[in-house]
Amino acid sequence: MKTFEELTYFVDTKEYMKAYNKVAESIDNAELDKAKNYLSLLKLREQELIKRMDYELRTEREMIASGIGLKEGEY
Task: Note the pTM of the prediction, 2 decimals.
Answer: 0.60
Q: Is residue 30 part of a domain?
A: yes
Number of structural domains found in the chain: 1
Cα–Cα distance measured from residue 59 to residue 2, given in angstroms and rounded to the nearest whole number: 12
Q: Is residue 60 part of a domain?
A: yes
Q: Is residue 17 part of a domain?
A: yes
Q: Is residue 41 part of a domain?
A: yes
Higher pLDDT, 3 or 16: 16
Q: Is residue 62 part of a domain?
A: yes
Q: Which domain holds residue 62?
A: 13-67
Q: Is residue 58 part of a domain?
A: yes
Q: Measuring CA to CA, which residue among 15, 21, 23 is closest to residue 40?
A: 23
Tens of pLDDT, residues 5-43: 665 555 677 888 888 899 999 999 999 999 999 999 999
Residues 6+ apart with CB under 8 A from 75: 65
Tens of pLDDT, residues 32-71: 999 999 999 999 988 988 888 888 888 888 988 999 999 9
Q: Is residue 1 part of a domain?
A: no
